[in-house]
Amino acid sequence: MNLIKCQKCGAECAAGTSFCRQCGAPIDAGSALESSEQATALLDQSVHVETQRLESRTTGPDRGRLPQPVEASTEICSPGRRGVVIGTVVIVVVGVICAATLVGLRSHRQATANLQYPGARTVVDMTGEGGRALQLETSDSLSSVEEWYQRELKPQKTIRLTNTSVVLKNDKTTATIASEGAKTSILIKVAP
């Protein structure tokens, strides 16, 4: 690295610099024009500007408050009557929600009753956006369970996977029945 000595203070400066880092004097007039650095300009010390003050304003207790709404007629919106109206609206909304829930549960139970093998133990019963999944377990034989689902589901397709498993399928319901040992597992998937 080439070092250049400042002509004013004698400090060593890196080549290519325009100004001394110690005293600020220009190093070389030719390279000062090429560099992005410019000489420090001192401001005119004779110009003196005073800080200007803002006009003072009085403040009061009402300053900054929002305007108050105009009072409505006490006959229509009295606090007691307002509470009764709000309470009635809440009761009606809750009643509608309860009625809709009961109707949904009733249809859900009817669909479950059609899919639940008599005497089977429910292992999993899940309902979600993708439909419903139901897993049942029984000690009845594979042939008995298959016959029952053939009657109830009226499947459009029956696929025998192995001697111990079969799949029954209609438009929205798929029942997979598998037997292992003394237990028969039933997996039902219902599309929404």
**pLDDT, tens only, 128-155:** 888 889 999 999 999 999 999 999 888 9
Nearest to 115 by CA among 90, 148, 82: 148
**Phi/psi at 177 (5° precision):** -115, 125
Query: Is the pLDDT higher at 131 or at 51?
Result: 131
pLDDT reading at 185 higher than 70: yes
In a domain, 157, yes or no: yes
In a domain, 130, yes or no: yes
Q: What is the DSSP letter of 61?
A: T
* The pair of three-digit structure tokens given for residue 27, joined into one six-digit string: 């190093």
Query: What confidence tier does 21 reach under pLDDT thresholds 50, 70, 90?
Result: confident
In a domain, 185, yes or no: yes
Task: Supply the angle between the helices 79-115 and 142-153 in degrees, to the nearest 10.
Answer: 120
How many separate domains does the chain show? Answer: 2
**Range of 26's domain?**
3-34
Measured from the Cβ of residue 127, the count of other Cβ atoms closer than 10 Å reads 13
**Phi/psi at 169 (5° precision):** -140, 135
* The pair of three-digit structure tokens given for residue 147, joined into one six-digit string: 């016959």
In a domain, 163, yes or no: yes
pLDDT reading at 44 higher than 70: no
pTM: 0.43
Residues 167, 125 contacting (CB under 8 angstroms): no
Residues 137, 185 contacting (CB under 8 angstroms): yes
| Residue recorded with tokens 């809440």 | 90
Residues 6+ away with beta carbon under 8 Å from 188: 115, 132, 133, 134, 135, 136, 173, 174, 175, 176
Q: How far apart are CA 119 and CA 77, in angstroms?
A: 60
In a domain, 19, yes or no: yes
Least confident of 26-30, 51-55, 84-88, 184-188: 26-30
Q: What is the DSSP letter of 19?
A: B
In a domain, 96, yes or no: no
In a domain, 134, yes or no: yes
In a domain, 15, yes or no: yes
